[in-house]
Structure 1
Amino acid sequence: MSIDASQGRTTPVIGSLTEHTSLRSRVTQVLREAMVAGELEPGTIYSAPALAERLGVSATPVREAMMELTQEGLVETIRHRGYRVVELGDVALDEIIELRALIEVPTVGRVAENATAEQVALLRPLADRLAETAASGELREFIAADTAFHLQLLAIAGNRKLVDEVRRLRGMSRLSALRRLYEEGRLTATAREHHALLDRIEARDARGAEALMRHHLGHVRGVWAGLPEA
Structure 2
Amino acid sequence: MTEDASPGLGLPSLGGRSSLREQVADALRALLVSGRLRPGELYSAPGLAAEFGVSPTPVREAMLDLVREGLVEPVRNKGFRVTAMSDAELDALAELRGLIEVPVMTAVARDADADTWRRVEELRPLARSMVDAAAAKDLARYVALDTEFHLRFLALHGNDYVVEVVRDLRGRSRLFGLAEMAERGTLPGNAVEHEEMVDLVLARDADGMARLMRDHLGQIRQAWAGRDPSPT
User: After TM superposition, is the score higher than 0.5?
Assistant: yes
Once superposed, what is the RMSD of the aligned Cα atoms?
1.8
One-letter amino acid of the structure 2 residue matched with residue 33 of structure 1: A
The 2-side partners of 1:98 and 1:185 are apart by: 26
The 10-residue stretch of structure 1 (141-150 or 130-139) with the greater mean CA deviation from structure 2: 130-139
Structure 1 residue 20 displacement after superposition:
3.0
The residue number in structure 2 matching 1:209 is: 209
* Cα distance in 2 between the residues matched to 1:168 and 1:111: 21
TM-score by length of 2: 0.87
d(CA) in 2 for partners of 1:133 and 1:26? Answer: 19
Q: 1:103, 1:48 → 2: CA distance?
A: 35
Amino acid corresponding to residue 228 of structure 1 in structure 2:
D
Counterpart selection for 1:14 from 11, 14, 17 = 11
Asked if 1:177 corresponds to 2:165, the answer is no
1:7 maps to none
Q: One-letter code of the match for 2:36?
A: E
Contact 2:91–2:225 (8 Å) recurs in 1 = no
| AA partner of residue 177 (structure 2) | A
Amino acid at match of 1:57: V
**Identity across matched positions, percent:** 48
The one-letter amino acid paired with 2:189 is A
Of 40, 43, 46, the residue aligned with 1:46 is 43
Does the 8 Å CA contact 1:13/1:39 hold for their aligned counterparts? no
In structure 2, the residue matched to 1:8 is none
1:223, distance to aligned residue in structure 2 (A) = 4.5
1:212-223 pair list within 5 angstroms: 212-223=212-223
Whole-angstrom CA distance in 1 between matches of 2:139 and 2:228: 21
Q: Where do 5+ consecutive residues of structure 1 fail to align?
A: 1-10
Q: Specify the alignment match of 1:111 in structure 2.
A: 108
* Conserved? CA contact 1:108–1:209, under 8 Å: yes
1:16-75 Cα distance to aligned partner (Å, 9 max, x none): 221231211110011111111222111222222222122121121112111211222211
Q: Report the TM-score when normalising by structure 1.
A: 0.88
Write out aligned runs for 1:3-152 (5 A): 12-115=9-112, 116-152=116-152
Q: Which amino acid aligns with 1:149?
A: F
Q: Sort the Cα spacing of 1:90 and 1:163 in 2 relative to 1 into closer, same or farther, 3 A.
A: same
CA deviations 1:156-208 (Å, max 9, x no partner) are 11122221221121122222232332232221111111112222222112232
Residue 221 of structure 1: CA displacement? Answer: 2.4
Relative to 1, partners in 2 of residues 1:223 and 1:72: Cα closer, same or farther, differing over 3 Å?
Answer: closer
Comparing 84-93 with 73-82, which one deviates more in the overlay? 73-82
